[in-house]
Amino acid sequence: MTFKNRKRLNRFIVLMIVLVGMVICLFPIYEMVSTSFKYEVDAFSLPPKWIFRPTFENYRNVLLSNGFGRYFFNSVVVALSTTFFSVCTGALAGYSFSRFKYKGKKLLIVFTLLLRMIPPVILVIPVFVIWNSLGLANTRIGLVLVYIGLNLPFNIWVLKTFISEIPRSLDESATIDGCSDWMVFSRIILPLIAPGLSVAGIFTFRIAWNEYILSLVLTNRFTRTLPVAVSLFLTDAGTEWGKITAIATITAIPAFIFTFTAAKKLIMGMTAGAVKG
Amino acid sequence: MFSNGVMKRNKSPYLFALPAIAVLLLVMVVPVASGIRLSFFEWFLRDIRKEPVFVGLWNFVDLFGSENFQTSIRVTLVFTISVVCLELFVGLVLALLLEDGLPGLRFFRTVFILPVMIAPVVVGVVWKFLYNPSYGKINYFLSVLGLKEIGWLSDPHMALISIIITDIWQWTPFVFLLLLAGLQGIPSDLSDAARVDGANYLQNLIHIKLPCISGVIGITAVLRLIDAFRGLVVMFIMTNGGPGVSTEILSLHLYKTAFTDQRLGKASAVAVILLGIITLLSIIFITKNMKDET
C-alpha cells in the first residue's frame, strides 16, 4: 500500500469513528424530539417508525396544561435575573481582585475558588431552614439569591482572567485624566470584557435554567421552575411519553440555541482554567 | 507605586468586592456553617417548629453503623471512579484521533457540547425512555442484533451500569474537548523534532504528548470527580436510588435522608462528609491551578 493510500485509509477510519460518535451523541436527543411530535401509537410502535405523521398534539396538551405558562415564566424570570445580578457582581469583584493590591485579597480568591466546588445539595437543608425563617422560602427572590451565589465564584474567576488581560496602562492613563475607579470600570473595563461577560452570562443562564434540586425544595406550585415541572409530569403522567418528551424538549430549547449560536464561547468557558491560553 | 497611590486614596477595592462577598456569605458561608452545626443535632422535618436537640456525634455514629450509608459510599465510589476513568480513556482516544483536524471538525465540536448543555432532568427523562423495557429503543436494538433484552433500570446489577452509561454519554464530549484543547496547545516543533529523530507514533505519544498534557488530564480528572460527587438528579429521575439502594449515590442519600426519612440532623452529617470529600478534591484542584498562575 502506498503512503498516500494509507493516509487516506486512516482518514476514512477516523471519519467513521467520528460519525459513529455523532450518532451516539445525537440519537437520544433525536429520540426525545421525535417522540414529542408523535402520536402515541407511533411513539410506542416497534420496530420504530422512522417516518411518521407529525403532530403538535403533545405540545398543545403541555402548553394548555395547568400551570405550564407559570412555570415557563418563572424559569425565564429566575434565569434572567440570576444572570444579570451574578454577572454584574462577578465583574465588580473580578475588577477588584485583578486590579488592586490589598490585605486579605489572596485569601478571598482562594476562598471563592473553594466555594465554587460546593455541591448545591449541601445547601439544600440549611438554605431551606434559613429561607423559611427569613420568609424567603417559596419565593422567586429566594431562589434567585441562591443561584447568584452558586454562580458567583465561576463568574468572578472568568471575569478576573479577562480583566487581567487588559493592559494596565489603559486604566492608568484614564486615572491620570481624572477618571475615578468607578469610571475606569464602567467606561473602560466593561466594554473591553464584553466577550467575557457573554461567556459568564451563558454559563450562569444555563445553570439557573437547568438547576433542579434547590428549585424542588425552595419553591411551591406558584414559583417552581421548568425542570421541576418536567419531573412532576414524569410522575403524574406516568407513561404519557409524548407529553413528557414535549415538555423536556421545551426545557432543552435554550441549550439548543446556545449550542448552535455560541459554541465557541461555550468551549472557551469550559476550557477556562483547565487549559492555558 | 502607582497602585499604592490609588490604594491610599480610597476604599474602592473593598467596595467593588463587597456585593459579591455579601451574597457569598449569605447564601454559601452561613448555610454551610449552619449545616455543619446541624449535624450535631437531632431534628425532624415534621417537627421543624420545635427546637433541634443536641446529640453530639450520634448522627455520625448512626451513619457509619447504617447499612444503607455503607452501600451508598460503595455506590458513590464505583460510580465516580468508573465514570472518570472511562470518560478520560474514551475522551483521550477521541482527542488523539481528531487532533490533526478533520473537515467539519467545528461542526462535530458543536454537536459534542449538546449533551453537556442539556438539563440533567431532561437527560434523566430521555434515558429513562430509552431504557424502557417494553418500548425503549435500546432493548429494541439489542433484539435486532439477536441479543437478549436487559432490564436496564429494574435489575439491581444493571441499574448502576445503566446510569454510568448515561453519564459517559453526557460527559465524555466535555472531557474530549478539554483534552483536545490540551493537545492542540503542545508546540508543534516538539513533535516534529521527535519525528525527525525517528520516534514512531507510540514513542511520540508516551514521551512527548502524554507528559505535555498530564496537567490538563489531572485537572480534567479532578473536575469530573467533583462533578460526579455532586450529581444526583439523573439518578433521582431515572431510578430514585433503586432498585433497593443500588443507585443511591451519597448526594441522593443526603436528599432522601432529609426529605423522605425527614431526619435533617442525620442528613446534615452526610452533608459534612460530602463536604469533606469535596474540599479535599478542591484543594488538589486549587493548588494545581495556583501553580499554573504564578
pLDDT digits (tens, 9 = 90+) for A101-117: 888 888 898 888 889 88
- Enumerate the residues of chain A whose CB falls inside 8 A of the CB of residue B116: 270
| Spatial CA neighbour of B272 closest among A118, A68, A163, A199 | A118
Tell me whether residues A126 and B35 touch, CB distance under 8 A. yes
Q: B291 pLDDT exceeds 70? A: no
A46–chain B Cβ distance below 8 A for any pair? yes
Q: B220 pLDDT exceeds 60? A: yes
Per-residue pLDDT band at B7 (split at 50, 70, 90): very low
Per-residue pLDDT band at B8 (split at 50, 70, 90): very low
Per-residue pLDDT band at B102 (split at 50, 70, 90): low
Tell me whether residues A121 and B112 touch, CB distance under 8 A. no
Tell me whether residues A150 and B127 touch, CB distance under 8 A. no
Per-residue pLDDT band at B113 (split at 50, 70, 90): confident
SS3 per-residue string spanning chain B? CHHHHHHHHCCHHHHHHHHHHHHHHHHHHHHHHHHHHHCCEECEHHHCCCCCEECCCHHHHHHHHCHHHHHHHHHHHHHHHHHHHHHHHHHHHHHHHHCCCCCCHHHHHHHHHHHHHCCHHHHHHHHHHHHCCCCCHHHHHHHHCCCCCCCCCCCCCCHHHHHHHHHHHHHHHHHHHHHHHHHHCCCHHHHHHHHHCCCCHHHHHHHHHHHHHHHHHHHHHHHHHHHHHHCCHHHHHHCCCCCCCCCCCHHHHHHHHHHCCCEHHHHHHHHHHHHHHHHHHHHHHHHHHHHHHC
Higher model confidence: residue B287 or residue B54?
A: B54
- Give how far B157 is from chain A: nearest CA, Å: 23
- Enumerate the residues of chain A whose CB falls inside 8 A of the CB of residue B11: none
Tell me whether residues A181 and B23 touch, CB distance under 8 A. no
Per-residue confidence (pLDDT) for residue B5, from 0 to 100 = 45
Residue B289 cell numbers, joined: 491551578
Mean pLDDT value of segment B215-238: 89
Higher model confidence: residue A236 or residue A193?
A: A193
Residue A268: Cβ within 10 Å count:
18
Per-residue confidence (pLDDT) for residue A237, from 0 to 100 = 66
Mean pLDDT value of segment B81-98: 93
Q: In whole angstroms, what is the distance from residue B113 CA to residue B107 CA? A: 10
Q: In whole angstroms, what is the distance from residue A14 CA to residue B98 CA? A: 7
Per-residue pLDDT band at A277 (split at 50, 70, 90): very low
* pTM tops 0.95: no
Mean pLDDT value of segment B154-163: 94
Per-residue confidence (pLDDT) for residue A276, from 0 to 100 = 47
pLDDT, one tens digit per residue, over B159-211 is 999 999 999 999 998 899 889 888 888 887 887 787 788 878 888 888 888 88
Sole residue written with cell 503542545:
B186
Nearest to B121 among A130, A227, A256 (CB): A227
Q: B292 pLDDT exceeds 80? A: no
Q: B4 pLDDT exceeds 50? A: no
Per-residue confidence (pLDDT) for residue B1, from 0 to 100 = 39
Mean pLDDT value of segment B39-44: 94
Per-residue pLDDT band at B100 (split at 50, 70, 90): confident
Q: Do residues B211 and B154 touch, judged by C-beta distance below 8 A?
A: no
Per-residue pLDDT band at B101 (split at 50, 70, 90): low
Name the DSSP letter for residue A211. Answer: -
Q: In whole angstroms, what is the distance from residue A271 CA to residue A277 CA? A: 9
Q: Do residues A129 and B34 touch, judged by C-beta distance below 8 A?
A: yes
Per-residue pLDDT band at B10 (split at 50, 70, 90): low
Q: What is the identity of the amino acid at A129?
A: V
| Spatial CA neighbour of B255 closest among B242, B243, B244, B240 | B240
Nearest to A112 among B4, B24, B223 (CB): B24
Sole residue written with cell 448515561:
B166
Chain A CA closest to residue B280: A114
Q: A136 pLDDT exceeds 80? A: yes
Q: Across all residues in chain A, what is the average pLDDT?
A: 90
* Burial per residue of B241-262, b for 16 or more beta-carbon CB atoms within 10 angstroms, e otherwise: bebebbbbbbbbbbbbbbbeee
| Spatial CA neighbour of B29 closest among A131, A207, A157, A127 | A127
Q: Which of A161-175, B23-37, B136-150 has the highest mean pLDDT?
A: B23-37
- Enumerate the residues of chain A whose CB falls inside 8 A of the CB of residue B277: none
Q: B55 pLDDT exceeds 60? A: yes
Q: Does residue B211 have a cis bond before it (omega within 30 degrees)?
A: no
Per-residue confidence (pLDDT) for residue A152, from 0 to 100 = 96
A259–chain B Cβ distance below 8 A for any pair? yes
Q: In whole angstroms, what is the distance from residue B36 CA to residue B247 CA? A: 26
Lowest mean pLDDT among A36-50, B29-43, B54-68: A36-50
Per-residue pLDDT band at B6 (split at 50, 70, 90): very low
The H-assigned helical ranges of chain A are: 3-36, 40-44, 57-64, 68-99, 105-116, 120-134, 140-164, 168-176, 181-183, 190-192, 194-210, 213-218, 226-236, 241-271
Q: A13 pLDDT exceeds 50? A: yes
Tell me whether residues A117 and B267 touch, CB distance under 8 A. no
- Enumerate the residues of chain A whose CB falls inside 8 A of the CB of residue B223: 274
Lowest mean pLDDT among A35-44, B11-20, B178-187, B283-292: B283-292
Per-residue confidence (pLDDT) for residue A273, from 0 to 100 = 58
**Is the four-CA dihedral B289, B292, B293, B294 of positive or negative sign?**
positive
